[in-house]
Copies of this chain bind each other. A is one copy, B any other.
Amino acid sequence: MTKVSVLYPNGKGKKFDMDYYCGPHVKMVMELLGTALKGATVESGLAGGAPGSPAPFLAMGNMYFDSVEEFNKSFGPNAEKIMGDVPNFTNTEPIIQIGEVII
């Protein structure tokens, strides 16, 4: 299974609107990707590993696909629309990680 993680780095002046993200954004992504999207999870950053340290990421979104090909086929044609929605909920630059689920 392929997991695509979108990480939103924390930083001075960086903001993230979790209500918009979990509402209109997730809804749009699910509609555009359709059945290729096998599951999705969202986390809100609370803290870093060192006591009292801030979360390295304001939020993380994860999407699951059967394969990298399935991700490319479904996400590729919609990438511009999906990434174009990012400024509506954050001013931080997302980091995208494509990974293989091992465990």
Residues of A within 8 A of B (CB): 2-3, 5, 7, 18, 22, 26, 40-50, 55-57, 59-60, 68, 94-103
Contact = CB atoms under 8 A, between A and B. Distances in A.
A57 B97 contact: yes
A19 B4 CA distance: 22
A103 B25 CA distance: 13
Given A57-B97, A60-B97, A97-B55, A103 B42 contact: yes
A95 to B, nearest CB: 5
Most B Cβ at <10 Å: residue of A2, A5, A18: A5
A22 B102 CA distance: 8
Contact of A49 (B49, B59, B98): B98
Contacts of A44: 99-100, 102
A60 B26 contact: no
A26 B97 contact: no
